[in-house]
Amino acid sequence: MTTLEVEIKFSVNPLGMAELEQQLRQFGGTQFDEPVMEFDLFFQHPSRNFVQTDECLRLRNRTLPDGTAQHSLTYKGPTMDTSTKTRPEIEIPITEPECWKNLLTALGFIPSASVQKFRRRQGLTVKHRHVEVVLDTLPALPESDRLFLEIEILARPEEIEESRTLILDIAKRLGLSEPVRDNYLRLVQNYQRKDNG
């Protein structure tokens, strides 16, 4: 069964991180894990424009703090609402990512762009639901604009409304407003176009 990713993302000020981490403790948070480096390679479909259809196919290489490598292939479907980024997600752990890249290329998928980030996680239990809070740093963006916080729940279809309500309430209690709708790839590409212009 396809999992639904219910997510909301905010740009955060690095100078406010101590206060934000203090606020997370009201939900039972402790501290973020050590940073994990994630390198995402995105593919374009041979016969439809994923930008226009709001879909995503990516190959992710993850390097853990101890140097261990993990890899996954992920498809994300179109966003289903405007208050959060709720969308179908299929994620497959893989080995031999270069072979998968070659297979996708042979099938006509085109490697189109890549994004690197450093991700720190902490899990919360709120109203008996597991909530993942991630802190992402994007080196390709200016230092003042490269830090983002995501609140995410993986849900079954019948849990969507409950999950949306829960993450919106958490965001409100953390004092976060004005969610970022663009994905990281688009944020980086927009900055690069602006910088080159």
Residue position matching structure tokens 């994990």:
36
Element (H, E) at 196: helix 184-196
Half-sphere exposure of 131 (CA within 13 A, CB side): 26
- Domain range annotation of the chain: 3-196
Provide the phi-psi class of 28: left if phi over 0, else alpha when psi is between -120 and 50, else beta: left
Residue position matching structure tokens 């995503």:
56
pLDDT in tens, the chain (197 residues): 568 999 999 999 988 888 888 889 888 887 899 999 999 999 999 999 998 999 999 999 999 999 999 999 999 999 998 889 999 999 999 999 999 999 999 999 999 999 999 999 999 988 889 999 999 999 999 998 999 999 999 999 999 999 999 999 999 999 998 999 999 999 999 888 877 76
Number of other residues whose CB lies within 10 A of the CB of residue 180: 16
The reply to whether the predicted model has a pTM over 0.85 is yes
3-196 maps to CATH 2.40.320.10? yes
